[in-house]
Structure 1
Amino acid sequence: MDHVPIGILVFFLIICLLISAFFSSSETAMMSLNRYKTKHLAEEGHRGAQRALHLLKRPDRLLGTILLGNNFVNIVATSLATIIGIRLLGDVGVLLATIILTIVVLIFSEVAPKTLAAISPQRIAFPASWVLRFLVKLLYPLVAMINILVLLILRPFGVRSVTGGDELITNEELKTIVLSSSTQSISPERQDMLMGVLELEDISVDEAMVPRNELEGVDLNDPWDEIIKQITNSRHGRLVAYRDNLDRMEGMLHLRDIIWLFHEKRLDKPSLMQALRPCLYVPEGTPLRAQLFHFQQHRARSALVVDEYGDIQGLITLEDILTHIVGDLVSDHDDESPEIVHHRDQIYHVEGSMSLRQINRELGLKLPLDGPNTLSGLIIETLGNFPEAGTEVQFNGCTVQVIDFIDGVVGQAEVHVVDDLGDREV
């Protein structure tokens, strides 16, 4: 090496630093890739994504190749810098070469390329995957030997394999992914819809059902004129049919099954009874996701929710589940007022029958979900008795004042969202 010109040594030193920068940026870029976005691109035929995804199936081989190459060129760079230092400044040159090379490697071969790769992993990883794939194949025997030695060293710590595997993502982790993407690539509307889908596993039918006291139906023991009046005045396309009370259920009446008989004035009680469909029953506590598949299997759109004693608690429909996913469904005859009305700054008028989960989502609150399902139920349970108009209850993040209490339930309440209650307990 004594006869090699300084210029050539410096040239090879720069080449080593550039190769080191390549390995450093490649490592960070490959490990920073979004696996799901990369998989999507690979399925669409992106060659770089396909190569990167193939390399990430065996991260032990990939990292072994990168580290082997990076350490090799760094050692060569150190040797070249030492030779250059000695030839220029003698023994003092060794110290100066070490200091200067450390700074240069840290800035130009480590921090800068890794920062760039972390910011734009696809721009670095996809082109680099072509070179890395070749090096993985070329250095496979040496890398395999190193991995075996590493496995032997790590075995006392309980490590039995260095092969990477796909980890299943939990429902809560998916929610975190959706929420963390709200300011990046998912619009608020799509985010709400995705959260609605993910919450189908957490919400049971008794949280989304029409409660028993709000069910509209036909009492088959009523006079025929009264039955016709109930049918013609109904705002729904499906009615429960019973005798005297809901516990004596006869079936479900779909108005489309009798509309033609009604127009032809041939509708009577025998034809009405013949048009009744069997009721589908579902136990309370059934997750909405399971109920959705239940509807699909039975080709049904509604089911009666029953408790452990078989008593009817309410009615769950396919529309109720879809409403939870996409929000309120608008219909031509929908003249009802909204459940939440913004009254003034941080103050809202909320229907007492509204679900706590929906209130939490729309107002950003953290009302407890391990007890009653509705705001009315939460107020009554917290107080331990029936409230009067004007009664106030404080929860984490809000103060609730009862506006009216009718027939054993809170009709409407005023919710004042506050920020100074902190983590105060109910």
Structure 2
Amino acid sequence: GLDIEDDIDDILQQIGSAQHTLLPMYKQKIDNIIGILHLRSVGKLIQVEKLNKASIIQETMEPYFIPESTPLHTQLFNFQNKKLRMAMVVDEYGAVQGLVTLEDILEEIVGEFTTDLAASNKEIHEQGEGVFLIGGSASIRDINRILSWDLDSSGAKTLNGLLTEILQSIPDFAVGIELDGYYAEIVQVKDKVIRTVKMWKSDSAPVA
């Protein structure tokens, strides 16, 4: 998480090296959660040259708290109902114990996103409203076949290969990529391989 009491340069350095698109922001200690910051908001602030502590706080989303005893399926329902991707887990005394993401819950319930598509067909997960979480090792042909998409399959064979080819490097943290008629948001990079990607058609942008 990010401590808003830190120096602005330290905060920016932490944002730059973040492995996730959503970061909890707190004041001095993790129990004092201010809000949840989406890295996409930071990008907007950079573009308009208004990157300071006040503007960062203004861009944070209200944190969502769940008891640590909440069953996984209840957490998943709450995430879907509230259109959330992250929640802070608290104990019976209200102390923050950690955080849980939508991806964490889905991995617990249905297994790793990057399972071999041919073996279990779990590379592609619909999140609703035309948005999909896709494993980086999914083949372009399978994605096109299952989703009736038209991604370029003339070169790279997998989604990881296609995105790496476009970027010409492995990203250190989440980035968004405009494809021909599609948008890809890299969610997870591990061992120098793009593991999970959030994708949708450009004409069906997600709500959040």
Q: Please give the TM-score of this superposition, normalised by the length of structure 1.
A: 0.27
Kindly report which structure 2 residues correspond to 1:20-419, keeping only aligned pairs within 5 A, or say none: 217-324=1-108, 325-329=110-114, 330=135, 333-335=189-191
Identify if the C-alpha distance between structure 1 residues 332 and 302 changes in structure 2 by more than 3 Å, giving closer, same or farther: closer
Cα offset, 1:296, TM superposition? 1.6
Cα offset, 1:328, TM superposition? 4.5
Structure with the larger RCO, 1 or 2 (CA within 8 Å, 6+ apart)? 2
What is the CA–CA distance in structure 2 between the aligned matches of 1:281 and 1:332, rounded to whole Å? 24
**Letter matched to residue 289 of structure 1:** H
- Paired residues, number: 121
The structure richer in helix per residue is 1
**Letter matched to residue 189 of structure 2:** H
Comparing 262-271 with 297-306, which one deviates more in the overlay? 262-271
What is the CA–CA distance in structure 1 between the aligned matches of 2:23 and 2:101, rounded to whole Å? 12
Cα offset, 1:264, TM superposition? 3.8
Determine if contact 2:3/2:25 at 8 Å carries over to the other structure. yes
SS of the equivalent of 2:190 reads coil
Determine if contact 2:19/2:188 at 8 Å carries over to the other structure. no
What is the CA–CA distance in structure 2 between the aligned matches of 1:297 and 1:322, rounded to whole Å? 15
- Segments of structure 2 that go 5 or more residues without pairing to the other structure are 115-134, 136-186, 194-208
What is the CA–CA distance in structure 2 between the aligned matches of 1:321 and 1:290, rounded to whole Å? 10
- Segments of structure 1 that go 5 or more residues without pairing to the other structure are 1-216, 338-426
**Letter matched to residue 245 of structure 1:** K
Residues 278-317 of structure 1: CA distance to partner in whole angstroms, max 9, x if unpaired? 1100001111101111112211111111000001111111
SS of the equivalent of 1:278 reads coil
Residues 258-277 of structure 1: CA distance to partner in whole angstroms, max 9, x if unpaired? 21212443211111010011
After TM superposition, the runs of 4+ consecutive aligned structure 1 residues lying more than 3 A away are: 328-332
Determine if contact 2:86/2:100 at 8 Å carries over to the other structure. yes
RMSD between aligned residues: 1.9
Determine if contact 2:20/2:188 at 8 Å carries over to the other structure. no
SS of the equivalent of 1:227 reads helix
Cα offset, 1:332, TM superposition? 5.6
**Letter matched to residue 220 of structure 1:** I
**Letter matched to residue 246 of structure 1:** I
SS of the equivalent of 1:250 reads strand
User: How high is the sequence identity, in percent, across the aligned residues?
Assistant: 40
Cα offset, 1:322, TM superposition? 1.6
SS of the equivalent of 1:251 reads strand
What is the CA–CA distance in structure 2 between the aligned matches of 1:263 and 1:318, rounded to whole Å? 29
The structure richer in strand per residue is 2
What is the CA–CA distance in structure 1 between the aligned matches of 2:49 and 2:12, rounded to whole Å? 11
**Letter matched to residue 307 of structure 1:** D
**Letter matched to residue 80 of structure 2:** Q
